[in-house]
Chains A and B, each alone.
Chain A
Amino acid sequence: MKWYKVCNQEDLTIKTSLTIKVGELTIAIFHLTDGRFMAVEDRCPHKDGPLSDGIITGSTVTCPLHNWRINLINGEALPPDCGCVKTFKTKIKDDDIWVEL
């Protein structure tokens, strides 16, 4: 596992997301209203929709394809749907967002 620098935290405003590509993997990083940065694989467990394009409310993102709701804290889909997306650790160091892969 390694930490990767993503971008300056100023570059990601609240309730928005960005995506980073590391090899084959695309990761979506979300800035929640409570200030936390959450990183998950940018692939809905339902039909691979890009979660980074979803509407963010609280700690939930709604997939733009079929409205599955994913809890960004643990990666799990909210009922009635069932599924899980991979989550990654994040941290802030010197105003930069880092993600552990």
Chain B
Amino acid sequence: MADKKNSKGRLRRLVMIGNGMAGVRAIEEVLAINHDLFEITIFGAETHPNYNRILLSSILSGEKTIEDITLNEKSWYEENNITLHLGKEVTEIQRGYRKVISSDGTEATYDILIIATGSTPFVIPIPGVDKEGVLTFRDLRDCDQMIEASKSYKHASVIGGGLLGLEAARGLMNLGMEVTVIHDQPELMNMQLDEVAASMLQKELEAQGMHFKTACLTKEILGNGRVTGLRFNDGTELKTNLVVMAVGIRANTALAKQAHLHCERGIIVNDYMQTYTDPSVYAVGECVEHRGKTYGLVAPLFEQARILAYHITGQGLKTYMGSEVSTKLKVSGVDVFSAGEFQVVAPAEGEEEKETIEYIDRGGGVYKKLVIDGDRLAGAVLYGDTADGVRLFQMIQAGTDISSQRATLIFGNPTLGDAGHSGIDLVANMTPDTIVCGCNGVTKQTIEDAITKEGLTTRQEVTGCTKAGGSCGGCEPLIDQILASVLGSSFAKAEGETPICGCTDLAHDYVKSMIRRDSLTTVAAAMATLEWKGEGCRVCRPALNYYVQMTFPDQAQDDPGSRHVNERLHANIQKDGTFSVVPRIYGGLTSPEELARIAKVASEHQVPAIKFTGGQRIDLLGVTKENLPGIWKALDTPSGYAYAKALRTVKTCVGNQWCRFGTQDSMGFGIELEKTLERLWTPAKLKLAVSACPRNCAEASIKDIGVVGVEGGWEIYCGGNGGVRLRGAELLCTTDTTEEATEIIKAYVQLYREDARYGERTSQWVEKTGLNNIKAKVVEDTENRAALIERLEEAIEASGRDPWENLISNSESQRPRHGLSFKTLTIDGEVAER
């Protein structure tokens, strides 16, 4: 039927009931996929264009105006040819005629209908709720009435001590009112906080001047015409001139029910956001019930919007599987976070009791609780310092094995970006012009503006829009904090599910599994089979190129066009477009002849600068592209791979050949390891070190793999990092012999090559995967170890010969012409024609 209509040249008609955040987001997603697919009509019951409801409390506090929180101006609807009916509430859906009718008689016929009617605040049915001065806190009209009331009255009360209630209370206090919060439970925010966090929050809010009446039910609203007071179940009364009900929301299903669409608590939808009853009717947002759950936070609703857009534009690849929700909020200046099963309840028959790890600093206003189930993190509550929330949430979702981190997990994971977990919200204390991303010079203000103006919800979007976090990534936790503080709700998404980049919706792990399943051996084949958008970008193309070669070392074809110039030319580009050359010096051990040769080459080729690197070798800087082959030839050493996602160096101390403390031959073992692993592509750069005794002069404890000699054996450490993200390496195992140490290291490297995401250093990977998992596969399961080593050997076999040797031995004409041309053509004008 749709095809017939299209053949007549008419667009399909898309009608949406509701003009809120989730619905409009779905329309935006549709337009982004195909701008010209639908004729779009939107009905909104409110008279304002789509605004950010999350920021209503800032309207109340006077921090922001309606213009500030508007997400889509009227002009946006015009530019996108959307017919917008504002202030018109749809009162009837005639599914038989595929038609909706609004209160003023406006009709619209649809091919596809989206119901995005949102929710309404629940009003407790007690006597007096119809009195003047009894409000809810849901839309701009409520805000206006509160502001109006604050001008004539002094006493206000808020029924409901959840997030919304506390936000309303804070807003009313800012308007100069004396506010009491009435809550039916003993603890505030009992859905998001445990007892301790709730009591700390209440104490803090009391210090700010808020009053509380907890574990108390309101029986009656008093007054003659306008409200004058409240009466409670314990018989007491409270004087008040304004009552705000904030006890929860109910999905708006009346319209859907009237149209005989199946509803429970919300409108029931399938994994495509299609209603159960009518495939031409979809629903999205707070009015929806999916797999028995309703959602009220923005992140899951935006995810639903995306899935809906995919399906109605005919790209039904993706399904909505429900969202794990964490809460990261700012309540009246206090940061709180919770996720998972954070309330410890008595275990059911046959279940182990969950353990908790707690940290309380009442004076400093910091409280952290981790709930642990066996080796996994089951839930967490953070109060005052929520910087670690995103990471903990990911661990909960991924079921990460945390047994090796138990002792330190609660203290967070200091990185340069968010150093100083001392109960201070770093972001809150930053002035707007503070630089958040040092690499790209992006300020806090720029990021905040981008989030509000562009409606961003993920770190990837922030990076795409502002470049913050796009280089070293050290500021990623800060960007997360800014997102949380601006959006005021959960935005976290498990890394595993994040698409590789804007060119695809698929995540790294899924892409890897498809490459293996469908035997994709080239970047082009992977992009074609996995329906890539366009020709990819500098983020996804190198990743695909790595994955195909890692998966099929024998058959895969390298695509030089999918490599950064450094890996294409086997040299490291510098700021002026020249290159640096780092010869391989195994284990940092050299000889007079080698040194003399390097010196001679540098002098003959007039190398402008020579420097010793941190990895015990020599860097020749300022070499022009044309000079690279000549220098390589004269050096006559293998490439040091100082430019690649591959083994860089194996740093060694002098060891028992010279050192009076040395217990092992660290130089010998380091050289052996470097010779074994050189030329292997890895997900990210790989740095090793071998020390001959626990004095650890080679600094093995901050390397991807660090080996420390002890009397009678080796200790092998993994997952260390001394750069952007300081992390001490963890003990993987101890071996008696050098042979066994080599085996373990080889298996470990192969596991990392296969399992990690492209670009992921071992420090991140070890943390994600869990040390025990890695131990099981590499140390304990000897069969698996042997299989890993076998696959590593295949990759080593396929890695071929040294790239420098390769490039200089092929004459210019035999070389692939593109990208590997070292010459610039000089044209002197003689060949000109008219």
Contact = CB atoms under 8 A, between A and B. Distances in A.
Interface of A: 2-7, 11-13, 15-22, 26, 33, 47-50, 53-58, 60, 62, 64-67, 79-81, 98
A50 B816 CA distance: 20
A58 B818 contact: no
Contacts of B566: 64
Nearest to A51: B577
A49 B231 CA distance: 73
Interface residues of B, number: 40
B105 interface: no
B535 A53 contact: no
7 contacts: A3-B833, A4-B831, A6-B825, A20-B825, A57-B541, A58-B534, A98-B833
A50 to B, nearest CB: 4
A47 B575 CA distance: 8
Nearest to B503: A57
Given A12-B818, A16-B818, A80-B467, A62 B537 contact: yes
Interface string B295-308: 00000000000000
A58 to B, nearest CB: 5
Contacts of B821: 18
Contacts of A57: 534-538, 541
A55 B829 contact: no
B150 to A, nearest CB: 41
B682 interface: no
Contact of B825 (A18, A33, A79, A98): A18
Nearest to B464: A80
A4 B825 contact: no
B562 interface: yes
A51 B824 CA distance: 13
Contacts of A47: 575
Contacts of B440: 66
Contacts of A65: 573, 575
Contacts of B465: 79-80
Contacts of B333: none
Contacts of A64: 564-566, 573
A33 B577 contact: no
Nearest to A7: B825
Given A12-B818, A57-B534, A21 B470 contact: no
Contacts of B577: 48-50, 53
B827 A4 contact: yes
B551 to A, nearest CB: 22
Contacts of A56: 561
Contact of A20 (B471, B819, B824): B824
Contact of B535 (A12, A19, A33, A50): A33
Contacts of A22: 826-829
**Chain B contact residues, majority secondary structure:** loop
B596 interface: no
Interface in B533-582: 534-538, 541-542, 561-566, 569, 573, 575-577
Chain B CB within 10 Å — which of A2, A53, A60 has the most?
A53
Contact of B561 (A15, A26, A48): A15
A55 B562 contact: yes
Contacts of B563: 55
Nearest to A62: B538
Given A13-B817, A49-B577, A80-B465, A58 B827 contact: no
Contacts of A13: 816-818
B825 A19 contact: yes
Given A55-B562, A67-B470, 10 more contacts: A5-B832, A16-B561, A20-B824, A22-B827, A33-B535, A53-B577, A57-B538, A64-B566, A80-B464, A80-B465
Nearest to B442: A80
B389 to A, nearest CB: 27
A5 B831 contact: yes
Contacts of A81: 467
Contacts of A11: 817
B825 A21 contact: yes
A18 B827 CA distance: 13
B564 A21 contact: no
Chain A CB within 10 Å — which of B542, B816, B833 has the most?
B833
B142 to A, nearest CB: 37
A81 to B, nearest CB: 8
Nearest to B565: A53
Contacts of B535: 15, 33, 57-58
B824 A55 contact: no
B660 interface: no
A98 B545 CA distance: 33
A79 to B, nearest CB: 8
A17 B575 CA distance: 20
A94 to B, nearest CB: 11
A15 to B, nearest CB: 5
Nearest to A79: B465
A16 B824 contact: no
Contact of A2 (B536, B541, B573, B829): B829
A2 B817 contact: no
Nearest to B562: A55
Nearest to B568: A53
Closest A-B pairs by Cβ, 7 of them: A16-B818, A53-B565, A57-B535, A2-B832, A50-B577, A62-B538, A64-B565
